[in-house]
Amino acid sequence: MSDLLINDNGRLVRQDIINQTQGYNTSERYIPIPTQSVLDIIKEVEPDYKIVGFNNANVRKADKQSFQKHALMINLKDELIAEVAKPNLIIFNSSDRSMALKIYIGYISMACSNQCVAGTNIMEPISIRHTDKNWKHTIYSLMNEYESYKEKLESNIINMKEKYVSYGDQGMFIEEAVNTIINPNIEGEILDPLQFNNANRKEDTGKTLYKLMQRFQENMVKGGIKRIIEKTDDNNKLFTSISNTHVIKDNKKLIKMNQDLHNLATNML
């Protein structure tokens, strides 16, 4: 799948995918969970919800079309929390056994176009296998708890906005974030963590924890950070190359990065 649902035009949603009521190459135990049915339950609680993003995976086999992995971003209400962000739910689903139904709570900062995903301290991601006969109950329970999740998210953002972070602590946070999120992924990678603390937008300048997290997230998602890669050849000779970090487009990587970053920030409160 590609970019994480930044399109504001709900009309781009593939109806053949979200209305799929069958499974592709599935067993008798498989229980289809149409994405539209999930939206119908949400609508009972929040009738004015709005789909603000849709994305689907490409498929190689023609007969697999309309069954593939897809993702939706929805706003339940057109509202701001903590005066800086719009809360939403992110839904992942498929009808081809490639993934379970997953739902995350997230938000978009009004200063950027990057989707943020709240850490597990706010809400454990909802994961429902396509063998769960009680899946509707789980969705209803989620919606009953949504307001409390949103309140926790808002409180968390407010606390981050009020948390002053010294230059020394900023460096420690960025270094820990780099070690947690980046360095384990590429062997021999060397980079200056402080590059991720550069503000590329005037909205990200400041010494609060919220601004610090936004700076790191923006630099991480957009890529372009200088790095050195050290490797050895077959003769055990060391050589180096200089490159830039890549733009993050993979949904799984975006979700994991956002959750890890949000959890690290929360630990500083």
Residue 66 lies in a domain: yes
Q: What is the pTM of this model?
A: 0.87
Residue 4 lies in a domain: no
Residue 132 lies in a domain: yes
Mean residue pLDDT across the chain = 88
120 and 139 in a single domain? The answer is yes
With 60 as the cut, is the pLDDT of residue 7 above it? no
pLDDT given at position 130: 96
Residue 1 lies in a domain: no
226 and 122 in a single domain? The answer is no
Q: Which residues pair with 81 in a beta bridge?
A: 85
Residue 39 lies in a domain: yes
Coil, strand or helix at 74: strand
147 and 200 in a single domain? The answer is no
- Domain of 89 in residue numbering reads as 10-161
Q: How many helices (H) and strands (E) does the chain have?
A: 6, 9
The band of 4, judged by pLDDT with boundaries at 50, 70 and 90, is very low
Residue 5 lies in a domain: no
**CA pair distance 177, 171, nearest whole angstrom:** 10
184 and 154 in a single domain? The answer is no
Instruction: Report the number of distinct structural domains present in the chain.
Output: 2
Residue 171 lies in a domain: yes
192 and 69 in a single domain? The answer is no
pLDDT tens per residue across span 227-268: 888 777 777 887 788 888 889 888 888 899 999 999 999 999
Task: Give the residue from 161, 195, 227 where a domain finishes.
Answer: 161
pLDDT given at position 3: 44
87 and 57 in a single domain? The answer is yes
120 and 201 in a single domain? The answer is no
With 90 as the cut, is the pLDDT of residue 6 above it? no
DSSP string covering 154-202, please?
HHHHHHHHH-B--HHHHHHHHHHHHHHHTGGGSTTEE--GGGGG--SSG
Which residue would you say has higher pLDDT here, 3 or 136?
Answer: 136
Give 247's DSSP letter: P
Mean pLDDT, range 180-209, rounded to an integer: 84
pLDDT given at position 234: 76
Sign of CA dihedral 245, 250, 256, 258: positive
53 and 128 in a single domain? The answer is yes
The band of 1, judged by pLDDT with boundaries at 50, 70 and 90, is very low
pLDDT tens per residue across span 65-120: 999 999 999 999 888 999 999 999 999 999 999 999 999 999 988 776 678 899 99
pLDDT given at position 188: 64
126 and 220 in a single domain? The answer is no
